[in-house]
Structure 1
């Protein structure tokens, strides 16, 4: 039998004697310092359900005082690999999860001779994220992910950051950049003691991601057609009054804006707090087009009506034209 197998058998046999329950410390008053970090692989933000799905690899590092040995006694073996269910692992959980069952891919734990344990499982996290659609489709969203021990307070498990930025974005940068409709603009990570006024507070790591929507698709579908159709509204007034298609052009433009509004409603997530400014602009332009259709109908009616020059100008039309109810336009021509 090799020295590595002999070492693993002895360490696990010792672990079976002391038990895997309880923290791996010789002194019960000593905390277990756990270094925790995340690495982003892929992500997806479901705006309608307000759920952020993150495919990430997680980094757990701690010291197990029951997994120590002298390398010179085992042919210089300085590290071994064991199954995580065979040793104690910290119960680090996502607090604001939207899914009770978090799928994770099995990964071996690497143990060094000084008791340092490194565990890098791959997990898929689904967290809740509040959505603000006021600037849709040029919006930015801030999503938070809070991690901490589910049962141990800060005196038992002291959770620390594994990376200075909180989340590693460089390892799989091409994957999440090309496969997502969002750009990760900034990442902030903070460590808090919750609740702060309680002696039995918990160590919580909060990761905040600033996401910016990629505007290539939205610009071509929602923005550019809106500018072109709004310009067509002016063409309605450039047509001569004897052309009956003035009203038809206005109705076609109105119907086009209605289609864009339906696309916007289908694309933007429904929220009770805010309304997209682009949707407000669509409604405003549709009101302008409706007024242009009414005025064009009046112009066509007057231009193609009976040629009786003694007919007075209607009082309401004179008021709209001059904002003066006593306008001389009311006098018979």
Structure 2
């Protein structure tokens, strides 16, 4: 046992000395016979033994790592959790000075594929990553005779994305993917672009597989140095611009809502005297509430998008139109039962609005019999059966009345009929005025929301 320990110690010293001398001397790999007998694993054992260390001849010189990626699918965008799930191919390229050989001495071999687990790999990670890296094992790297190593890594990335859903469903989002190292500072690793960002964007647009809810618009890039204490880390930030396809939400949300609001506006043409307008508007209001409850799952679970404001606005307009119908119905009921006296100035203003530029009589005169409205011409009024019962039948003598009392009674009835007609006219004028205000507010609100969506 005492003699074995120095012998083993000398063997370890010789192995370390051999590795050190190999690092200082010729770093090329002896690949003679690869074209006849295949790749000899023993030729790469010295390089494989160094995989725990950064492959540089001088430890003070940084390793230059070039990165690029191809976005092949946008799987999901969760507005509630503020997450974007995408699938991409990460391309990492760096130089290993210990993986060089002479292709003329190796039968013209210029490129080899080696298991990635046997080599040093840069610790490139995505800062916004929110899940465990599920990269499949057993990946390969391509090595050229000049020591250029290319590592392609498929990744399903669940990354944080700050979403602005105010313009839903016509929204565009800008998600970031920040690539960097969490071990090596700028003194040890420098990041650069392998491809131009425009080429990355064009390749992703042509190869993207997903045709779901989101569409890729463009990819932009910028470099940044992250400072943590006294250390600086190189980073490359990619801005991925995506847009939502709004057709599903337009067909299922906006079109039915617009139809219900249009029907509510057209219901103003129903005669208020018939008593059918108010029940019709109540039915529309209940139907609109059921529609909102059914379509609630299509709306974002967090935030207040503009479409929610639009739905609340449509619901408020339908409630206001119902209140307007109730008010007009009350005025007509008041006019046909117990019409209160109308002030002269209000009566004059009403006549000015209804008969502009003309002199309309303010009260029925004794000689003008056709100016007063009869009950049969007033909407919502029935025949005065009490007057019909007082008319003499055939063969029955008319009761003798005093001429002065009959004339006073007729004048009183004419004044009452005129007052009823004025109140009915005022009710129709208010109905028209409120309907125009309703249309004005409806059109201006829809135009405002449309302008906000398009800008």
Indicate the residue corresponding to 2:58 in structure 1: 27
Q: Sort the Cα spacing of 1:53 and 1:244 in 2 relative to 1 into closer, same or farther, 3 A.
A: same
Indicate the residue corresponding to 2:320 in structure 1: 291
Alignment match of 2:91 (pick from 59, 83, 89)? 59
Structure that is richer in helix per residue: 2
Q: Sort the Cα spacing of 1:306 and 1:171 in 2 relative to 1 into closer, same or farther, 3 A.
A: closer
Structure that is richer in strand per residue: 1
Indicate the residue corresponding to 1:277 in structure 2: 306
Indicate the residue corresponding to 2:4 in structure 1: none
Alignment match of 2:224 (pick from 161, 179, 192)? 192
CA offset digits 1:65-121 (Å, max 9, x no partner): 111111122111111100000011101011111113333464310000110001112
Q: Sort the Cα spacing of 1:6 and 1:203 in 2 relative to 1 into closer, same or farther, 3 A.
A: same
Indicate the residue corresponding to 1:324 in structure 2: none
TM-score (norm. length: structure 1): 0.84
Q: Sort the Cα spacing of 1:47 and 1:175 in 2 relative to 1 into closer, same or farther, 3 A.
A: farther
Gaps of 5+ in 1: 322-327
Indicate the residue corresponding to 1:202 in structure 2: 233
Describe how 1:287-326 pairs up with structure 2 within 5 A. 287-303=316-332, 307-311=336-340
Indicate the residue corresponding to 2:403 in structure 1: none
Cα RMSD, aligned residues only: 2.8
For the pair 1:73 / 2:105, whether they are aligned, the reply is: yes
How far does residue 219 in structure 1 lie from its aligned partner after superposition? 1.5
For the pair 1:89 / 2:121, whether they are aligned, the reply is: yes
How far does residue 175 in structure 1 lie from its aligned partner after superposition? 5.8
Q: Distance in 2 between matches of 1:227 and 1:167?
A: 43
Report the structure number with the largest CA radius of gyration.
2
Q: Sort the Cα spacing of 1:178 and 1:312 in 2 relative to 1 into closer, same or farther, 3 A.
A: farther
Q: Sort the Cα spacing of 1:102 and 1:243 in 2 relative to 1 into closer, same or farther, 3 A.
A: farther
How many pairs are equivalent? 314
Q: Sort the Cα spacing of 1:125 and 1:186 in 2 relative to 1 into closer, same or farther, 3 A.
A: same
TM-score (norm. length: structure 2): 0.63
How far does residue 258 in structure 1 lie from its aligned partner after superposition? 2.5
Describe how 1:40-59 pairs up with structure 2 within 5 A. 40-43=71-74, 44-59=76-91
How far does residue 306 in structure 1 lie from its aligned partner after superposition? 8.5
Q: Distance in 1 between matches of 2:170 and 2:269?
A: 34
Q: Distance in 2 between matches of 1:150 and 1:77?
A: 36
Q: Sort the Cα spacing of 1:2 and 1:166 in 2 relative to 1 into closer, same or farther, 3 A.
A: farther
Q: Distance in 1 between matches of 2:280 and 2:190?
A: 69
Query: Aligned with 2:297: secondary structure?
Result: helix
Describe how 1:232-243 pairs up with structure 2 within 5 A. 232-243=263-274
CA offset digits 1:251-293 (Å, max 9, x no partner): 2332343244345642232335xx2112112112211211211
How far does residue 297 in structure 1 lie from its aligned partner after superposition? 2.5
Gaps of 5+ in 2: 1-31, 351-361, 363-415, 420-455
CA contact (8 A) 1:251 1:293 kept: yes
Q: Distance in 1 between matches of 2:137 and 2:256?
A: 46
